[in-house]
Amino acid sequence: MNNEAEKARILDISQQIYDIGKSLNLLTRVGWSADVKAEFFAKKACVLPVVEYSTFDASAVIEPLQNIKKKLGESDVDKWFARNIKSIENSAKLLGNIGKPDFFRYSCALFGKPKDTLKDEKSTPLDLAESYLKALLPIAGFNIGEPPEACFLAKTVAERMQRAVQDFGHLAPEIQIVDHLSANALAGSERIRIRRTACFTDNDIEQLVNHEVYVHVATLLNGQSQGNSRLLQLVHPGSTKTQEGLAVFAEFISGSMDLDRMRRLANRVIAIQMAIDGADFLDVYQYFLEHTDNPEQSFENTRRVFRGGVISGGAPFTKDIVYLEGLLRVHNFMRAAVAAGRPDCIHLLFVGRLDIEDMPVISYLQSIGLCQSPKFLPPWAKDLRFLLCYLSYSSFLNSIDMSVVSKHYRELLENVIQSH
């Protein structure tokens, strides 16, 4: 097959898969109405919430995808198509079992479980969460000099978002303040919605800008670039670990990450494992309440665990394990890229919605003109001077045995008088 014929075939199959997958809207379909929260607190947070979902016919998605699979060959691009199809099929099956025990089965197929082994073949997402929370214990209660607690309202956040999206020109999403939203803010390529009653800290605002605008919106708009394979703009679970890992890394590298945010990410992994082990909505709500002393935030964190799943326990939504694992994957990939003399691959992460494991295929698509260089990049990726310095230093530290050094400084610190 000549090059032009192959390009036409790739574009055609990409379009077919995109047309089927774009209608899923997974997170919207597992969302809860505002009435659920209102009723939960009206009943003094003592009664399991009742949630109703719309039914979903998975066969309407799976059957046309099966027809596409029959036409695929054994090339790397065809295997990439097959992975995308598998992700969309499992998403359809997940929605077909919404509110039922089998929902958990397909959630695990899409996002994994807290006890799944990671790339190092030793640790798990649950290990990461528990280790991080343990690492925070020595500084619990320490005055870190944060400013007095402040509540920035939706109007302030919208103004900051508006400034951030100016770089997108005529493609900039509309900033909306809405009365009802499952999260404090949600971003898409066409609009960013902010809940009117939400309260934000200074760090919350910058986290949202770096996470939602500079990563999620930017990669979606880059994927929509003319001439690209349509799969680069398809939002589906197959790219979630890389997308969320990149977004959390953006919070870190921009200096907007804080201890509270990292605790929340770690506690969500613990909570998902609790639900797998049989904890119900009330049990998990109490767990979050003990760690945040914030009823509304505790409800929202618990909702994330149980949305689409079984409220009485045993079958949660496992998506929220991907944040810590994704962060580790993205960080390690970038370090490996620098060590291998391939920092050019860092910008490839932003060409659209993709998984790190797809990078060889993505580079091939770029070589034949079906993947354009990213037009929109976050500030820390436009100018690579600090990022490459940080990544090379991180690799350098990782090569040193710190056990003896750490022991020396622990002993030294024992003789340092603590300031008050």
Q: With CA atoms as reference, report the closest residue to 233 among 357, 79, 330, 351.
A: 351
Residue reference for tokens 């009742």: 50
Distances in whole angstroms, Cα of residue 368 to Cα of each of 10, 257, 355, 375: 11, 38, 20, 18
Distances in whole angstroms, Cα of residue 243 to Cα of each of 136, 189, 325: 26, 14, 11
Q: In the beta sheet, which residues pair with residue 186?
A: 193
The CA distance from 280 to 295, in Å, is 17
Q: pLDDT tens-digit profile of 194-228? A: 988 888 888 889 999 999 999 999 999 999 998 89
* pLDDT score at 128: 93
Contact (Cβ atoms closer than 8 angstroms) between residue 222 and residue 351:
yes
* Torsion sign (Cα): 192, 196, 202, 207: negative
The Cα angle at residue 125 between residues 280 and 146, in degrees rounded to 5: 85
The CA distance from 314 to 312, in Å, is 7
Q: In the beta sheet, which residues pair with residue 192?
A: 175, 187
Q: pLDDT tens-digit profile of 311-365? A: 999 999 999 999 999 999 999 999 999 999 999 999 999 999 999 999 999 999 9
Q: Model pTM?
A: 0.93
User: Is pLDDT of 153 > 90?
Assistant: no
**Residue 125 pLDDT level (bands cut at 50, 70, 90):** very high
DSSP three-state, residue 384: coil
Contact (Cβ atoms closer than 8 angstroms) between residue 17 and residue 232:
no
User: Is pLDDT of 277 > 80?
Assistant: yes
Query: DSSP per residue over 62-100, as a string?
Result: HHHHHHHHTT--SSHHHHHHHHHHHHHHHHHHHHHTTTS
The CA distance from 230 to 10, in Å, is 10
The amino acid that residue 280 corresponds to is D
For the domain made up of 112-398, give the CATH fold: Neutral Protease; domain 2 (1.10.390)
Residue 285 has which token pair? Answer: 């709500």
Distances in whole angstroms, Cα of residue 266 to Cα of each of 129, 261, 327, 360: 4, 9, 12, 31
Domain residue extents for the chain: 112-398
Query: In this structure, what is the dihedral angle of CA atoms 263, 184, 163, 207, given to the nearest 10 degrees?
Result: 10
Distances in whole angstroms, Cα of residue 273 to Cα of each of 107, 235, 280, 394: 13, 26, 11, 31
